[in-house]
Amino acid sequence: MTTFQTITENNLTGEVDAMMNTRHPEQPLRVLILSASAGNGHTSAARAIEQAFARRGKEAVVTSHLDMLDLVPWLVRFVARDAYVFMIDHTPRLWGRFYYAQDRRSTLASGGRGMRRVANREVAERLFDAVEEFHPDLIVSTHFLLHMMLRGNEGRLPEGCRLALVVTDNDAHRCWQYEEVDQYYVYSDEVLEAFTARGVARGKLLASGMPVEEKFFRPVDRKAAYARFGFDPARRTVALIKGMARWGWLFQPAARERLLEATRDANVLIVVGRKDEKLYDVLKPYEARHPRLRVEKFVSNVEEVLAIADLVVGKAGGAFTAELIACKTPAVLMGTIPGQEEKNRDLLVTGGVAREATEFHELVNAITSLLRHPEDLDAMRRRYDAIWRRDPAEIIVRREMAVWQRRRATRPQRVAASFR
């Protein structure tokens, strides 16, 4: 079973405790947070880190959060976002083959020809203009695009600027591996060991977990949450969160009937996604037949859904996997995309906190079995204790604040130059 070890193993506990009892430096830490809107995980991780830094106050930290895809030419944006989304939606197996093939390419680690073409000065001009304008002491990136673009542009970073990379899936893919990175924050100890085996210095690695927003760690008013959905608190609750998964079976009348039969005694929430108008129109009329069924296009209170749900059905995206861990919610994973999501799935399935369904009948069987045997759901929830779930964004921010504090104390007159 993959577990997350205590932060003591990274020699950080004393460092963090000292920092928390020390006044903030007079000069605030300038943090540039970079993400890429290619899927949800990179942006949500950046937002969580931004919130954690903001809790320190403007006297201690000044932050700026930029989407790198807003600062690159349209062709790079098309490849990194539009083509990627198209592939995982329409040709997921082809994406999986591409993903694993790129992981075998040694050029990703050493900056081969493909990376050099992407990282030319013209492509990166606007991005590095923004970096120079903000003049950060620290750059935290939740996407590897920045480090791809560093090839040939290293001189455009402010002197002494520290680079931290947040890996947003449970995998040590080569696309994340670059010499310029000062600190890697990774999903699990398994990923930490994999990066170490690939030559990354252990001192650069910290198994922080995947950052999720603070709201997932706040206590939830369960009574109010049940009331918002019109649910019966005395019944089990099943939530199906489709996201970008391809669940074509929901369009089949027989499949819908089987699902409703399997959950007839439970509260059921189906979230189809903002863009799936057709599926929403198909499912919404079923609310009249199933008094405890709610069909929504989108919910802004996912943290409440995961808190009241006894079982969640979804796919193993990086952000969703981390949110399940934060809320300790048992899951059935369906629609896993080949590649990085397989690694996220393995973390939950091998940890005994989720089951996998590759076919619709397997999903129905899993839901039926778990609702009939609530003790199995309770056991799955308890097993989350073996998986690191302390607020990863807070871990990252404490680490970086501690480094900043230490370096400033060592050479207070030249903070930026000594920040590495």
DSSP secondary structure of 328-369: T--EEE-SPPTTHHHHHHHHHHHTTSEEE-SSHHHHHHHHHH
Instruction: Decide which of 39 and 344 is more confident.
Output: 344
Q: Given this model, what pLDDT does residue 63 score? A: 94
Predicted confidence (pLDDT) per residue in 202-251, tens digit: 999 999 999 999 999 889 999 999 999 999 999 999 999 987 677 888 88
pLDDT digits (tens, 9 = 90+) for 106-117: 544 444 454 454
What separation in angstroms does the CA of 37 have from each of 85, 93, 116, 215, 345? 10, 22, 22, 21, 22
For 28, the 3-state DSSP assignment is coil
Residue 118, exposed/middle/buried by CB under 10 A (0-12, 13-18, 19+)? middle
Burial class, 34, CB count within 10 angstroms (exposed 0-12 / middle 13-18 / buried 19+): buried
CA distance 167 to 347: 15
Q: Over 90: is that where the pLDDT of 402 sits?
A: yes
- Percent of the chain residues topping a pLDDT of 70: 87
Residues in the chain, total: 420
Q: How confident is the model at residue 411 (pLDDT cuts 50, 70, 90)?
A: low
Burial (0-12, 13-18, 19+ Cβ within 10 Å), 46:
buried
CATH of 215-386, one of 3.20.20.70, 1.10.510.10, 2.70.50.60, 3.40.50.2000: 3.40.50.2000
Residue 255, judged by CB atoms within 10 A of its CB (0-12, 13-18, 19+), counts as: middle
d(C-alpha 270, C-alpha 280), whole Å: 9
| Cβ atoms within 10 Å of 147's Cβ, excluding its own | 22
Contact 185, 157 (CB under 8 A): no
pLDDT at 117: 45
At 180, the pLDDT band (50, 70, 90 cuts) reads confident
Tokens of 2: 């993959």
Query: pLDDT tier at 340 (50, 70, 90 boundaries)?
Result: very high
pLDDT digits (tens, 9 = 90+) for 159-177: 889 999 999 999 999 999 9
7-212+391-418 homologous superfamily: Glycogen Phosphorylase B; (3.40.50.2000)
Residues of the chain with CATH 3.40.50.2000: 7-212+391-418, 215-386
- Angular region, 173: left φ>0, alpha ψ -120 to 50, beta rest: beta
Torsion of CA 129, 135, 138, 142, to 10 degrees: -30
Select from 2, 88, 6, 74 the least CA-distant residue to 41. 88
Please check whether residue 220 is in contact with residue 233, taking contact to mean a CB–CB distance below 8 angstroms: no
CB 303 within 8 A of CB 320: no
The per-residue DSSP string of 304-326 comes to: HHHHH-SEEEE---HHHHHHHHH
Half-sphere exposure of residue 378: CA atoms within 13 angstroms, side-chain side: 4
The pTM of the full predicted model, rounded to 2 decimals, is: 0.86
Gap between the Cα atoms of 152 and 408, Å rounded: 30
Buried/exposed 325-360: b ≥16 CB within 10 Å, e otherwise: bbbbbbbbbbbbbbbbbbbbbbbbbebbbbbbbeeb
DSSP 23: P
- Contact (Cβ atoms closer than 8 angstroms) between residue 272 and residue 296: yes
Q: How much is the mean pLDDT over the chain? A: 86
pLDDT digits (tens, 9 = 90+) for 40-93: 889 999 999 999 999 999 889 999 999 999 998 888 889 888 998 889 888 999
What is the tens place of the pLDDT at every residue in 255-312? 999 999 999 999 999 999 877 888 899 999 999 888 899 999 988 899 999 999 999 9
